[in-house]
Amino acid sequence: MGQILSNPVIDKEHHSGTDLLTAFGLCAMQGWRMSMEDSHIVEPNVMASSDKDHVAFYSVFDGHGGSGVAEYCGARVASILQEQESFKKGNLTQALIDTYLNTDEALLKDPVLRNDHSGCTATSIIISKLQKLLICANSGDSRTVLSTKGFAKALSYDHKPTLASEKSRIIAAEGFVEMDRVNGNLALSRALGDFEFKNNKKLGPHEQIVTCVPDILAHELNYEEDEFVILACDGIWDCLSSQECVDLVHYGISQGDMSLNDISSRIIDVCCSPTTEGTGIGCDNMSIVIVALLKDGESIDSWFTRIRGKNYSKPISFALKRRVIYNYFEFPADDSSVFDITTKKPQDRFNQDSNHEYGDDSMDVDETDVDADGEPGNSKRVGTTGRSAPVDLFSLEALLGAGIQVTPGPDNVSYIAGSALSEVLNSLNRAAHTETGARATATTAEAKDLQEEDTESSPIEDEKIKEIE
């Protein structure tokens, strides 16, 4: 799973836009990972300088081993596409292949990135108004999915080293697959960058252990059936199947008050793990783009109305889906709190108002602690003059969010560890001091009561009272 933080970074990057061909909403979040290694391209028209066609271009790049290659791709791939002769001639399928190959060549010419050990997967779509085509290029295990009549249609296939076609190329290039990884290291078999796996001078780029050459899938658009496209990194697909993701988008559309941006953000909330304990899914960087396919002259509001009018069954809500994915985690009963880990900053989760969390912190008086006149008074039993204020401890949700880990040890003894442990111990220490002070006050009060009630006490009893005081 790689190195992870004690708390997720939940600041989200949002982009949205609309054009005459498409509209989109994007959300990206670092999450539990040590750094953000995803990047993206959202270009509703990459042929703005030409009236030959209207072409939308969307891509998601999922970095690994560092962010260098992914950042370069996010900044440069759109312009590299525009430079290709195949693109200028309208051969969009070849243009995508040429773009991926030329991006790798450009990376090798960069004096810094040629020695960078990072790489990135890439999934891209081109939508042509003139040709009425949707073309997807994919290299790696990011994924693109089309919703058509409510059903998920795969526009890409994950490139894993265990696939027969991928494994045969790896072995032919004198590599191997071990523990489902390329040379026991890389969990995917196609990517941009990763030049340590592309150094066989006898082989072309198509034949290297890891190749950047994408698979291509073209789809002829039917706007009566085709509704939207989802591009996302494997952090999303580790948690959701293609159909589940399509269903969640339709659920968001059905709510009537959510934009594509809102829906993409909520899907990331669904997928982000509530804790680092468990299976390890949901602890990756996450990026998702939802692209609406607009009819001629259709606005985004009209698109929402049209898709909502199809009345597909929505088998599961965002909150319920999150509970299903992380069924081992004890979420709050209130659905609005299910997303706290991705909507509240750590300090907000820890500094909750104690009155709200635990009730009024004023002193409680025991019903038995009343004097003869019915007024609250001092009990004759030490420690029962009243309950001390509630201990200001973290809630279970906050402890888990802080990275507190409870693990079983020998002899059924549980051990607690984590980055926020010192804060918990400090909280317990403050509570102990409060309780000790309350007990000391009660003991002194009792001693005085005893002295007043028994003025003829013996010298030995007097000495005991002095010791107590």
All structural domains of the chain: 4-343 (3.60.40.10), 346-468 (no CATH)
Count the alpha carbons within 13 Å of 216 in the hemisphere toward its beta carbon: 16
Return the H-helix or E-strand segment holding 41: strand 38-43
233-279, pLDDT tens digit by residue?
999 999 999 999 999 999 999 999 999 999 999 999 999 999 988 78
pTM: 0.74
> How far apart are alpha carbons 402 and 419 in whole angstroms?
7
Condensed to tens digits (0 to 9), the pLDDT of residues 306-344 reads 999 998 887 789 999 999 999 999 998 888 889 988 887
In 272-420, alpha helices (H):
300-308, 318-325, 340-343, 346-350, 354-358, 396-401
- Is the predicted pLDDT of residue 453 greater than 90, yes or no? no
- The 3-state DSSP composition of the chain as helix, strand, coil percent (nearest 5) reads 35, 25, 40
- pLDDT at residue 149 greater than cutoff 70: yes
pLDDT tens-digit series, residues 189-221: 999 999 999 989 999 999 999 999 999 999 999
Distance (Å, whole) CA 227 – CA 243: 14
Residue 405, pLDDT above cutoff 60: no
Is residue 341 within 8 Å of residue 8, measured between CB atoms? yes
DSSP letter at 381 equals S
Q: What angle do CA 157, 160, 164 make, to 5 degrees?
A: 90
Q: Which of 444, 469, 442, 449 is nearest to 387 (CA)?
A: 442
Tens digits of residue pLDDT in 122-146: 999 999 999 999 999 999 999 999 9
CA distance 25 to 163: 32
Beta strand ranges found along 189-348 (DSSP E): 192-193, 215-220, 226-232, 286-293
Residue 383's pLDDT is 32
The distance of Cα 413 from the centroid of its chain, to the nearest Å, equals 33
Name every residue whose Cβ is closer than 8 Å to that of residue 431 and which is 6 or more positions away in sequence: 391, 392, 393
Distance CA 404, CA 359 (A): 24
Distance between CA atoms of 146 and 228, rounded to whole angstroms? 6
Tell me the mean pLDDT in the region 72-80.
97
Please determine, for residue 455, whether its predicted confidence score (pLDDT) is greater than 50: no
